[in-house]
Structure 1
């Protein structure tokens, strides 16, 4: 195999695939990227951790000798990243156990390869459901839910975003849900054509993060194909295939309260900034911020045995509240995570000081958040 490619083209392709490679693994071949150059001038790069596989095809490469090999993904990426802009990179592998030679200008190095036969093939299998989502819609679904994904490995079925088709007031929607037991995020978009028969699937956290990075670079539609065990995303020249979490997502509707009738509406920026200021009194991420609400008045407060106390008042200029007085506490970070997804005005729906609270964006009804209170 021997080919020449622009440094910028190679770097972009390597950036897409190498991030799925686990830096620490017990299977050496999984640290490598599969490199294939075809007689048609196409460069194909593939990386996998056995749960996710990312493939990129780069056309228009100058191929002198077609072939395939593998090379250390992180090392190849770092070398390419540090080459000068505008460099032409030549990769030459004569075959067998010989090292892969890399040359660019006056720079030259060689990389140890591993047998192509050892590189795992992650077959897709049959993916009966196919539909397309606009890149902006997919980014929105991810951004407004991923912060609530659980990192607790024992509850593995919460370690991703649950995506499924359902109906709301008779209208079909695609719904994305994530929860860690302390907060819940639920976002809906109109159901795309072809998605009506999709199974409910849990997309793993790592897949979500890789997908979000890839979706950032395009404005075109993203094609999805899935079964009840695997999902594939086609994003321009990049294809991401992932296993799905084999588990049952909880019946999340049961934790969404129905009778919360005390409504607080507050300017998002004023509220978010106040939360950050009063929370700064404590270095403990889990310390609560207390919300004391009265008629058109909101007092935020926090206390720390080491640092002291902090308090800030927001009044009728930015606050609307006409129900009975209420005190409730929430973890500051959880409040910030939710308000970061909201536009100009955040609306809280309370029942009492110890019951789950609903949070919404006043201007967007398709997103709903549930937040469990803390004892204050």
Structure 2
């Protein structure tokens, strides 16, 4: 009998963080308990090892994100609900009879699709919803748990809009975001140079040094960016009159507008976020006389349209971890007792939402 089948035969109760209405996560989230299903011949049963909390997860719960899971009665018969979370790493605990030539208990996998609901302990699902990964490729479990969003977004931002060559330059806002730090590590690997913009803060100098260690060529604050007379001298000097061909933006607003002024003719600005909540204002002269192009990138849409390419990209990112091209930026691991009472299972999640720094929920099981 499979290892997982032995566990499931004891009628395990899984736990999940779910919501039945949109709103403030601290108010609408609740913990539900559900029987862990024995998988059919064509299914796998997995348990979650770690699941990140990403900004898009919060936006889904608030009801303001374009992609949202359907609310069903699968786990809550009386009230339709959805399980929160989109990213995580799982361990296979039971394998359907028709899949045992390809899968076995103990293997790790990540999500191939969105809206599966990853803030939970257990899931029974079709294998096409998973991508098998090698646990030994990663330095720690949080790297595997965060494999499918930030590293993949970083790679696509560097490669989907402009074909950079070794020695070329790009600029990016929000360089100390998790995506930004992944971009820097990949850029170092590919031989790209960068001018990176961070928000002015008391610890700016130490943050600049940290980003340089990750691969940044130059780092400036948004306040320094606004010193136009100085920047007009520095950017040509730094780039040796080979201005950046790509701008990567997750801030928008005045910072993105100012960055655009230092890009090459016919350069592209690739936008993947708008943390300032301000519109992107571009002077008409940059469109007419510099022929700037604008490109938006949303990983969810791309992977829905290109599922096979997404699978290949995930495995490529895994190999970058194996080869030490990528390392996980600092995250806060938050312990979750997988067997806790509902209120105690919910608390680490609600405490982590809105807290400073990226959080990865680490599930602990009795065995």
TM-score by length of 1: 0.22
Pair member with larger Rg: 1
TM-score by length of 2: 0.22
Which structure is richer in relative contact order (CA contacts within 8 A, separation 6 or more)?
2
